[in-house]
Structure 1
Amino acid sequence: MRLVVLGGGESGVGTAILGKKKGYEVFVSDFGKIKDSYKEVLVNNGIAFEDEQHTEELILNADVVMKSPGIPEKVPIVKKLVEKGIPVISEIEFAAPFTKAVTIGITGSNGKTTTTMLTYHLLQSAGLNVGLGGNIGKSFAWQVADDTYDSYVLELSSFQLDGIINYKPHIAIITNISPDHLDRYDYKYENYIDSKFRITMNQTEDDYLIYDADDEAITNWLKSNKTRAKLIPFSLTKTFTEGAFIKNNSMEVSINQEEFRMETETIALEGKHNMKNAMAATSVAKLMQIRKATIRESLSNFQGVEHRLEKVLKIQNVEYINDSKATNVNATFFALDSMNSPTVWIVGGVDKGNDYNELMALVREKVKAIICLGVDNKKIIDAFGNVVDMMVEVNNMSDAVRMANRLTEKGDTVLLSPACASFDLFENYEDRGRQFKDAVKNL
């Protein structure tokens, strides 16, 4: 069996290693440059590869192709594979049959990283032998090749879900759905929503789907489509006999006739959206039969995720917050919503078809100045130019932070929450977040 891997990054190299171990003839092809560290791994494992090109005769003879999530379906080589009827699948689909471990799959437009990390923290603190993978950390396929875990918590993007055929998580979570990556879905929101719901398409009556019952896109989909999984909703406003909710400043989770309660103020994560993440993760912990005391302790000591509403420093009584992971409007909505003081907002980057109107009320209420950090800021300036007193354009992070420092007074907050992708000025959102933190430390 010939396995061709498109993309020589973390998921590609992990898939190649697993494929080799399982007796496939493996070839890795990357149209860009493969990092030296990954090349070394491929060489040491005797895996053939090429970079900065796709040689068709070495690709179109595949029995199966694993496509890295970053490669769009519209790429010519992918189109040719599809025309030839060669299955093009994701790393998750390829690796899942080679492990007996239970998987918990987590998707959503926002909150999936925090929910994934918190779920992992809960299970690990309870002493479960659990791995973390998917869109985060070490490649799932690579971990399956070493095969040491009984369960995995997987963060799954819509692109990874697009490439599944038979994969099913035992427990699935959809944190929320809002327009994102529409450039990859023919600018049709419903295509993107369907893509997220692929997480439950193979689930059976013995599996679970945990979802945000306050989310319009999710509840509408569930009204008109069927899943066989047992439904476990969570909500900030409704209550359930089976599900998770907030009542009288307490989080309540009721699953399989068992109840769990915890005061919201004792949960380490702050903000309404984080209460949702906590409800989703706690629902998993209850399904995995983790002791209440362990859940309580884990929820009260969880440190949060880097680049997601991360408190950097307080300088002259001004708080600097790194929310570089906010690459869409919905994520920035949560960030602005959780601000409790006048805010200088650093925003901008590569726009994925954003509608800034959703932020209008929050900007009027909370934002005193906007710093545009992007190559093209026209849409942001058009949207908010008349709404805030001060609007500045900069083209590097140190200028953004120095300008923010000038515009603040005691008690204010500086929030980096770009609502956009980072590729115009930075390598990725992590690079953007680290540059922000460095610039703040250099003030």
Structure 2
Amino acid sequence: MTRPLLSPEWVARLKQFKKLIVGFSGGLDSTVLLHVLASTPPLSNQLLAVHINHGISGNSLNWQRHCEQLCLDLGIAFIAKAIEFDRSANVEEAARNARYDFFSSLLEDNDCLVLGHHLDDQAETVLLQLFRGAGVDGLAAMQECSNLGAGQLARPFLTCPRVELEHYARIHELKWIEDESNQDTKYSRNYLRHRVMPLLLEKWPGVAGNISRAATHCQQAKANLEVLAIKDCPDLLNATDHLLIEPIKGLEFERITNVLKFWLKKNRIQLPSSKTFHRIIHEIIFAKLDAIPTVSWNQIQVRRFQQHLYLLKADQINLPKAIKWQQFPASLIYPDANIELSAVKAQKGLMIPKEAQIEIRFRKGGEEIYWHGQTKHLKKLFQEWQIPPWVRDRVPLVYINDQLACVVGYAVSDVFFTTNSLEAWSIVNNS
């Protein structure tokens, strides 16, 4: 008697979720997964099958129809999504990132994305990471359970070899899609699957399970390194896009790198090369106090200002000269420049005269504000407030009737300041 593909422990684990979103390509793995879940009474009412149409193959539409029909037969809710992604570089990686971005957008609190990755997939992933020279994080490969967006991600078949899924499919007479690109060995995973793994299995029949077990060991090592990072730098627990430098300067190089990796992962940033970590440590962390160095990779920048590291995503947003806030106090949303401001009633703060013309502008140089009984240059105030130089040009400035009335998040001009709670507003930057 063969073991069930979905153990009682997995049934209990998945039953706790409100919705189970199944990534359904129509291939063997996801077809078996969907059938198993639909045949498990405690779970069948929680299912939503999601098919991603990459638009790469001429058969894409037929595959989508096949998936929709199978869900109709099983009585499972179904949605399909055509996605766009960059096809100029690594198509496999770009498609994968686009898939996960969409899956993540669907997940709400107490939802779970369920995928059909199996033991052979895990072994291939470990080897691909090894060939790329990955560290512990990469060699940890895929986890059975992890966080994704507002929900979680589960891979209940990760310890099941592909042959068990094939056996289940034959017994239940399931039909699945064979993507012709899966035979194309120009793709790294396919080359490994069709050319390399058969040779390894011929010599070591249990090699896939052994490689997968090594990934489990690396997952434990990864968890231990994360504990060490927090011990070395307790600020990591609350750190967002900036990190205090002083606590880590006295650490050994490898432990500084470990802290930086934790910080970047917490901010959902893909880790750079070892060479880039060397540059961050030598050129930024140990730079002169008055230096403002930068290290960049992909679309990411790490900078230093005084005693903090700052993490920035490089963007090409051109800020508008002015945005009229015509519907005040309704929120001002300007997506093209990633601007979102809201007005909140306050005990004291900004007073808006009747019939006022309200505009949002950004620093160009030479701005002055009447504050604390004096006319002050905005440039000097930004320095006093220790605002990093690259942030200063993005701080929203509220102009009322062509006069600078408020530096959002920092100051309100004496001319427009009131302690009358019936008239006072606080401008909040939600960008």
TM-score range, shorter-chain basis?
Answer: under 0.3
The structure with the largest alpha-carbon Rg is 2
Q: Which has the higher contact order (CA 8 A, sep 6+)?
A: 1
